[in-house]
Amino acid sequence: MVGNKVDLSVRLGDLTLDNPVIPASGTFGFGREFAPLYDIKKLGSISFKGTTKEERFGNPCPRIAETASGMLNAVGLQNPGVDAVIRDELPFLEKYYAKPVIANVSGFSEAGYVETVEKLSAQPIVGIIELNISCPNVHGGGMSFGTDPDLAASLTRAVKKVSQKPVYVKLSPNVTDIVEIALACEEAGADGLSLINTFMGMRIDIHRRKPVLANRTGGLSGPAIFPLALRMVWDVYEACKIPIIGMGGVSSAEDVVEMMLAGATAVQVGAANLINPWASSDIIDRLPGVLADLGVDKLEDLVGLAHHE
């Protein structure tokens, strides 16, 4: 190694990213709020806000609750709908980001998923479809696909038939055995896996004696879930052969390295972006120093390394 020169690039199938750091869907919008703060082109990719066939207002307020070392959210997939995303949001990303992005797709029926995937996968800037079958904050559809291996496999096969881009299935941790779901998606043709989504949780206001969230439950994210996410990435890497995008409580360059050692090829940063808008940028800036301290000159060499040491 010469100085601090390290290779941060990673490959997700045929797609090469400059670095593995990706803002997670729902924590970065479509990049508009972050572009004035720093050059978002430095990001490895962007998983933009979860998109459904039709416009959604989302859940009633309050939607956010604080927890120790984390937060609960029950936003409920608020988004303008796929046609508006293509018309109004992707041109912005093409201008200010101009590298392949990840289209996070949600739905409430197989037909809804298929139509949304078909439209988004045809867009030149979209490099990967992230099939969200794991959102715990909506009623009907959503997570029901992610908790049943047969439903997960069926949906994966359906969207693979229409998608022009690789399909990564985003998995729920709210299951007995996440490996079973991962294997079902792999066998159905998934090109990769994203894990994990948030854990279902709740808080109660002791003064009102009612749940804090209007939705009653929400998804727990933040540093509290990092060890749980890391274990699930480890287990899925042991069982599956397709690439993994790891996420769940990642908030530092060291967390990125841990995720990659467990088996992730790329890493998404979620709740940290809501606490510190520069979080993803800061992590990228700190990665070369962390790798230099570890004596590593090629970041991708770390993927799954802890399984073989």
Dihedral sign of CA atoms 237, 166, 104, 265 in order:
positive
3-state per-residue secondary structure call for 36-84 = CCCCHHHCCCCEEEEECCCCECCCCCCCEEEECCEEEECCCCCECCHHH
Within 10 A of 43 (CB to CB), how many other CB atoms are there?
25
* pLDDT value for 77: 85
Rounded Cα distance, 307 and 309, in Å: 6
Half-sphere exposure of 226 (CA within 13 A, CB side): 21
pTM score of the predicted model: 0.94
* pLDDT value for 108: 86
Average pLDDT on 99-107 reads 96
User: Contact 271/221 with Cβ under 8 angstroms?
Assistant: yes
- Which tens digit of pLDDT belongs to each residue from 208-242? 999 999 999 999 999 999 999 999 999 999 999 99
- Which tens digit of pLDDT belongs to each residue from 104-114? 999 988 999 99
What pLDDT band is residue 71 in, cutting at 50, 70 and 90? very high
Residue 116 has pLDDT above 50, yes or no: yes
Domain residue spans of the chain: 10-55+76-199+221-307
What pLDDT band is residue 4 in, cutting at 50, 70 and 90? low
Residue 293 token pair: 């301290």
Q: Looking at the annotation, which residues are catalytic? A: 135
Helix, strand and coil in the chain, % to nearest 5: 35, 20, 45
Q: For residue 106, give the H/E element and its range.
A: none
**C-alpha separations of 209 from 74, 214, 215, 268 in Å:** 19, 13, 15, 36
Average pLDDT, the chain: 93
* pLDDT value for 135: 59
- Which tens digit of pLDDT belongs to each residue from 260-292? 999 999 999 999 999 999 999 999 999 999 999
Q: Which fold has domain 10-55+76-199+221-307?
A: TIM Barrel (3.20.20)
